[in-house]
């Protein structure tokens, strides 16, 4: 997968990086570096001189980072108020040293946020990545009060109350306009509730070369994906070289799901796209996309030469659908499973076994409720740790899994995982999953390896929605069909012939 994707480190991984960095350079003062880096961003937000800044410091090392920032800003002639929610005698060593610097700069500690003071910037240094239990009581109230200030708000490392591994809100969470995260990026910044609380994210490495100290199994999928050709073609090219995709679905009342997937697939470059519509009265042609070729499901599965197949968009869950899916699972082709195909696999052990036994690549694109059915758990459990859930499903089914949602998590059977950084709330509308399935199926049919087809398809899907929203087409009222041409434009923006 793309070499320039930024690595993501869990809490344990980040702590291992810190330990390795200190072993390599025992004299490094990472807290001092963090304070200096955060102060640089704080100065951008509050102005170089003057201005009132509120710093909220907690009882641990995140509080130490906050004292370092406060001292830098006070020396820069800002008015700085520090609310300290802790016990100075119990601070970790480095945080205690940082507090001593604040005291030496004639700083004072407040017990509560002044009611009448208006601030130009609020800095959250209450709790960092090590928060172990939900915030409640006075701490939760302090987080809410700091979040309510009508000014720029900067979180140190991660907004207090956000789980650094999962992105979940732990009781209450600070809502930042900006976050400066230290040493490495944490997955909780980019999935579930994290993006709604982090604002603009800036990485301060503190001169720690994470990649040289410890590799990570997780990465953030960013715009770097569109910087290199993905579907470059030589001039001497024909449609047979672009693959043939079959799409199995379209039961009565749900024909549109299969058609949406088909339109997405052909416009993302598949040479031929065949629809095997399950409905008793299929149309003879898709008038809006006559290039799609319609076949009976049995004919699609038995007689049409394909390079990849999609099963699920509008498939239904009756006995006929079960039989057709079982037949599709036996095909030695890359297979994308979505929607009703996932529900059928979750419901029938024989289909689960068939997925697990496949030798050809299997790609699955569940939303959280579908993932819960596949895992035999609840939606809340899936959302409680999206990365772990995606990795478990990938291992269970020996499949490449994209757990859809805010910060879609993709996982490979070998444990590697990716968090997607594109997309917006406008994608919460009917048919979006069908378009994603068509895009992923198209990329697989054209010969991309399964993990690339999945990760790139997810990114393109979200990036198309972002590009449309930037032009005022959404997010409210954005429709699935509108994404297709924009995804095609982005795919073609990568470059032309090889």
Domain boundary among 177, 198, 216: 216
CATH code, domain with 116:
3.40.50.10260
Residue-wise pLDDT for 48-90, tens only, equals 667 899 999 999 999 999 999 999 999 988 899 999 999 999 9
**Cα separation, 260 vs 79, whole angstroms:** 57
Residues 97-126 have a mean pLDDT of 95
Residue 239 covered by a domain = yes
Q: Residue 53 — φ and ψ, nearest 5°? A: -125, 135
Cα separation, 13 vs 10, in Å, equals 5
206 and 269 within one domain: no
Q: Can you give the chain as a three-state secondary structure string?
A: CCCCCCEECCHHHHHHHHHHHHHHCCCCCHHHHHHHHHHHHHHHHHCCCCCEEEEEECCCHHHHHHHHHHHHHHHCCCEEEEEECCCHHHCCHHHHHHHHHHHHCCCCEECCCCCCCCCCEEEEECCCCCCCCCCCHHHHHHHHHHHCCCCEEEEECCCCCECCCCCCECCCCCCCCEEEEECCECHHHCCCCHHHHHCEEEEECCCCCHHHHCCCCEEEECHHHHHCCCCCCCCCCCHHHHCEEEEEECCCCCHHHHHHHHHHHHHCCCCEEEEEECCCCCCCCCCCCCCCEEECHHHHHHHCCCCEEEECCCCCCCHHHHHHHHHHHCCCCCEEECCHHHHHHHHCHHHHHHHHHCCCCEEECCCHHHHHHHHCCCHHHHHHCHHHHHHHHHHHHCCEEEECCCCCEEECCCCCEEEECCCCHHHCCCCHHHHHHHHHHHHHHCCCCHHHHHHHHHHHHHHHHHHHHHCCCCCCCCCHHHHHHHHHHHHHCCCCCC
Q: In this structure, are 378 and 266 located in the same domain?
A: yes
Determine the pLDDT at residue 2: 58
Examine the domain organization and report whether 276 and 406 are in the same domain: yes
What pLDDT was estimated at residue 293?
Answer: 96
And the tokens for 109?
Answer: 């500690």
Cβ-proximal residues to 477 (8 Å cutoff; 6+ apart), any chain: 426
Q: Are residues 266 and 177 in the same domain?
A: no
Same domain as 249, residue 200: no
Q: Please indicate, yes or no, if residue 1 is contained in any of the structural domains.
A: no
* 75 and 197 within one domain: yes
The reply to whether 257 falls in a domain is yes
Asked if residue 432 is part of any domain, the answer here is: yes
| 121-125 β-sheet, strand order | 109-110, 79-84, 52-57, 121-125, 152-156, 178-182, 200-204
Q: Please report whether residue 84 resides in a domain.
A: yes
Question: Is residue 498 one of the residues assigned to a domain?
Answer: no
**Of 216, 238, 271, the domain-final residue:** 216
- The per-residue pLDDT of the chain, averaged, comes to 94
Of 181, 216, 251, the residue that ends a domain is 216
Reported as a single tens digit per residue, the pLDDT across 423-467 is: 999 999 999 999 999 999 999 999 999 999 999 999 999 999 999
Q: Which domain holds residue 173?
A: 7-216
Overall number of domains in the chain: 2
Q: 200 and 238: one domain?
A: no
Does residue 497 belong to any structural domain of this protein? no
Stretch 131-138: mean pLDDT = 94
The CATH code of the domain that includes 473 is: 3.40.1190.20
Return the minimum-mean-pLDDT range out of 203-217, 325-339, 369-383: 203-217
pLDDT at position 476: 96
Give domain status of residue 2, yes or no: no
Q: With 0.85 as the threshold, say if the pTM is over it.
A: yes
């Amino acid at each position: 997968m793309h070499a320039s994707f930024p690595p993501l480190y869990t809490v344990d991984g980040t702590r291992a990086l810190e330990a390795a960095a200190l072993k390599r350079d025992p004299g490094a003062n990472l807290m001092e570096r963090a304070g200096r880096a955060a102060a640089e961003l704080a100065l951008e937000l509050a102005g170089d001189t003057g201005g009132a800044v509120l710093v909220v410091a907690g009882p641990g090392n995140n509080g130490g980072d906050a004292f370092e920032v406060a001292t830098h800003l006070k020396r820069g002639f800002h008015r700085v108020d520090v609310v300290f929610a802790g016990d100075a005698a119990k601070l970790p060593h480095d945080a205690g040293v940082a507090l001593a610097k604040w005291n030496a700069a004639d700083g004072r500690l407040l017990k509560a946020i002044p009611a009448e003071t208006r601030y130009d910037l609020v800095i959250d240094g209450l709790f960092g990545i090590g928060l172990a239990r939900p915030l409640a009581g006075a701490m939760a109230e302090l987080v809410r009060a700091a979040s309510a200030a009508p000014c720029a708000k900067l979180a140190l490392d991660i907004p207090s109350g956000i789980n650094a591994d999962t992105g979940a809100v732990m009781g209450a969470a600070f809502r930042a306009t900006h976050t400066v995260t230290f040493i490495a990026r944490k997955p909780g910044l980019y999935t579930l509730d994290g993006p709604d609380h982090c604002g603009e994210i800036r990485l301060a490495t503190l001169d720690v070369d994470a990649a040289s100290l410890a590799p990570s199994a997780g990465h953030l999928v960013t715009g770097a994906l569109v910087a290199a050709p993905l579907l470059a073609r030589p001039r001497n090219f024909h449609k047979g070289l672009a693959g043939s995709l079959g799409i199995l679905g379209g039961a009565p009342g749900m024909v549109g799901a299969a058609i949406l997937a088909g339109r997405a697939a052909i416009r993302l470059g598949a040479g031929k796209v065949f629809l095997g519509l399950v409905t008793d009265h299929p149309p003879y042609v898709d008038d809006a996309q006559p290039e799609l070729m319609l076949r009976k499901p049995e004919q699609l599965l038995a007689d049409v030469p394909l390079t990849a197949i999609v099963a699920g968009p509008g498939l239904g869950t009756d006995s006929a659908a079960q039989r057709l899916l079982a037949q599709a699972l036996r095909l030695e082709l890359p297979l994308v499973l979505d929607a009703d195909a996932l529900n059928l696999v979750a419901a029938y052990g024989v289909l689960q076994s068939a997925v697990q036994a496949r030798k050809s690549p299997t790609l699955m694109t569940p939303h959280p409720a579908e993932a819960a059915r596949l895992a035999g758990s609840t939606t809340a459990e899936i959302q409680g740790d999206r990365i772990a859930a995606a990795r478990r499903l990938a291992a269970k089914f020996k499949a490449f899994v994209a757990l859809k949602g805010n910060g879609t998590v993709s996982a490979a059977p070998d444990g590697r995982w990716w968090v997607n950084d594109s997309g917006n709330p406008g994608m919460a509308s009917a048919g979006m999953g069908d378009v994603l399935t068509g895009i992923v199926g198209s990329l697989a049919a054209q010969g991309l390896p399964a993990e690339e087809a999945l990760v790139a398809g997810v990114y393109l899907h979200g990036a198309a929605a972002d590009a449309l929203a930037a032009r005022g087409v959404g997010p409210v009222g954005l429709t699935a069909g509108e994404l297709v041409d924009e995804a095609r434009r982005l795919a073609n923006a990568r470059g032309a012939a090889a």
